[in-house]
Amino acid sequence: MQYVPFGKHGFEVSRLGFGAMRIPMIEENGERHPDVQRGVELIRHAIDQGVNYVDTAYVYSGKQNEDMVGEALKGGYREKVKIATKLACPYIESRADMDKMLDEQLKKLGTDHIDFYLLHALNKDRWAKMKELGVLSFLDEAVKDGRIKYPSFSFHDKYDVFEDILTSYDWQMAQIQFNYLDINEQAGLRGLRLAGRRGVPIVVMEPLRGGALASPPPEVKKILERYPEKHSAHDWAFRYVGHFKEVAVQLSGMSTREMVDDNLKIFDEITPGCLSERDQRMIGRLRAAYKKRMPIPCTGCAYCVPCPKGVRIPKLFSIYNESKMFDKPEELPRDCGYYVKEGVDASKCVGCGLCEKQCPQSLPIREWLKTVHKEATENK
Ligand code: SF4
Ligand code: SF4
């Protein structure tokens, strides 16, 4: 495992962070819960192998993720890691709500302080609302009374909004979506560089773009096969992000022990500046090949659900993108079939537009749903 100093904070973090968002879930009495036993095993295994950064959030796993992480960090594990968790801004309506949520989170996580406390998924409107409610004085006070160490934020919006937020407060970390496909989306490469100039360490989410970069289409595979240096598709994606010195930690949502072990091997080799110029040109070709094939730039973040009509937007988009990426139109109706049976397919959209207000990628979700429905019906 490679470690880097976290800004000027005087400690080092593992360049691989455990993203607890995707820990396995189980269904009991019709309700979904985190599989606590497997989650605890996975997190402890990663920590035993050198991972010292664990990321969770109030809203993950039906608001039960922090409890699971708290369980994993019992028995001496808490002291071995930095915890990052997030204030769920959509649930906050007053200054008092902020204190209440933070106190609840400390309890769930079984700790007296949170290392990185992020305002979750800031965008233009959410940032304005949170400022209005006094979030900056809340952060100052929570640092002062020791409940949090490093005020931070995670981000989903355009670059200009990122610049505004980054330069409005003494942030100690920013978490952004960054991968070799998204260099010009959201904060992007410009945002990364800006944070670097201001001495704000970056934590990267979605380095594999919701897993898509780990399953390459034929054109991408061909480029990788022809390239003399051999690494897996997801290894190259992690390398690309880890090449930037501004990136302290990459979060990987790991849900099996094999994934953890595979990632550990990869991160043994990822150092800032690890890509040659030739590697970078090759990754540029991968990017172009992907862009050509993925019609819907959906990251699977699921901020758009639940939809009032139950439409499973991220699932349907992922099925559509995959059918295009792998050139298998016949799989579209087959894979949509389950959602049709459940009554949550694209045809159930009534066009209310609620989902589009939540989408960090500003996708015209309603239009895409029409396309998905049309093609799924035509290819039957
Ligand atoms: S526009 Fe359609 S998919 Fe979006 S929330 Fe409304 S009904 Fe659901
Ligand atoms: S449609 Fe938008 S909000 Fe929904 S999963 Fe895709 S990127 Fe996220």
> According to the model, what pLDDT value does residue 359 have?
93
CB-ligand 2 contact for 359 (6 Å cutoff): yes
Ligand 1 pocket: which of 349, 358, 369, 370 to mutate (most atoms within 8 A of CB) = 349
219 vs 130, more confident: 130
CA of 357 to the centre of ligand 1 (A): 10
| Tokens found for residue 129 | 């609302």
Mean of all residue pLDDT scores within the chain: 94
The Cα 27–Cα 15 span in angstroms is 33
Which tens digits make up the pLDDT trace of 164-175? 999 999 999 999
> According to the model, what pLDDT value does residue 294 have?
82
CB-ligand 1 contact for 193 (6 Å cutoff): no
User: Looking at the CA of 156, which ligand is closest?
Assistant: 2
All domains of the chain in start order, with CATH? 3-291 (3.20.20.100), 313-378 (no CATH)
pLDDT (mean) for 333-350: 95
pTM of the complete model:
0.80
Which tens digits make up the pLDDT trace of 344-355? 999 999 999 999
Percent of the chain with pLDDT over 70: 99
CB-ligand 2 contact for 356 (6 Å cutoff): no
Nearest CA to ligand 1 atom 3: 349
Band (28; pLDDT cuts 50, 70, 90): confident
> According to the model, what pLDDT value does residue 105 have?
98
How far does CA 76 lie from the centroid of its chain? 27
CA of 224 to the centre of ligand 2 (A): 28
pLDDT (mean) for 272-278: 96
Which tens digits make up the pLDDT trace of 242-265? 999 999 999 999 999 999 999 999
Band (232; pLDDT cuts 50, 70, 90): very high
> According to the model, what pLDDT value does residue 326 have?
63
Q: E strands along 167-324, which residues? A: 173-177, 202-205, 247-253
Q: Name, in order, each residue with C-beta under 8 angstroms of 200's C-beta and a sequence gap of 6 or more.
A: 7, 166, 171, 172, 173, 174
Which tens digits make up the pLDDT trace of 77-115? 999 999 999 999 999 999 999 999 999 999 999 999 999
Number of the ligand 1 atom closest to the C-alpha atom of 310: 8
- Go through 93-122 and write b for each residue having 16 or more CB atoms within 10 A of its CB, e for each that does not: eeeebbeebbeebbebbebeebbbbbbbbb
User: Looking at the CA of 364, which ligand is closest?
Assistant: 2
3-class DSSP state of 333? helix
CA of 336 to the centre of ligand 1 (A): 17
Ligand 1 pocket: which of 320, 339, 355 to mutate (most atoms within 8 A of CB) = 355
pLDDT (mean) for 185-195: 94
pLDDT (mean) for 28-40: 90
CB-ligand 1 contact for 363 (6 Å cutoff): no
> According to the model, what pLDDT value does residue 329 have?
87
> According to the model, what pLDDT value does residue 296 have?
94
Nearest CA to ligand 2 atom 8: 301
| Tokens found for residue 210 | 């919701």
Number of the ligand 1 atom closest to the C-alpha atom of 366: 1
Which tens digits make up the pLDDT trace of 42-84? 999 999 999 999 999 999 998 999 999 999 999 999 999 999 9
Residue 379, pLDDT above cutoff 70: no
Angle at 253 between CA 289 and CA 288, to 5 degrees: 10
Q: Name, in order, each residue with C-beta under 8 angstroms of 146's C-beta and a sequence gap of 6 or more.
A: 112, 113
* H/E element, 326: none
219 vs 283, more confident: 283
CB-ligand 1 contact for 365 (6 Å cutoff): yes
> According to the model, what pLDDT value does residue 27 have?
86
How far does CA 99 lie from the centroid of its chain? 25
> According to the model, what pLDDT value does residue 217 have?
84
> According to the model, what pLDDT value does residue 154 have?
97
| Tokens found for residue 12 | 């080092």
Residue with token string 């390239």: 227
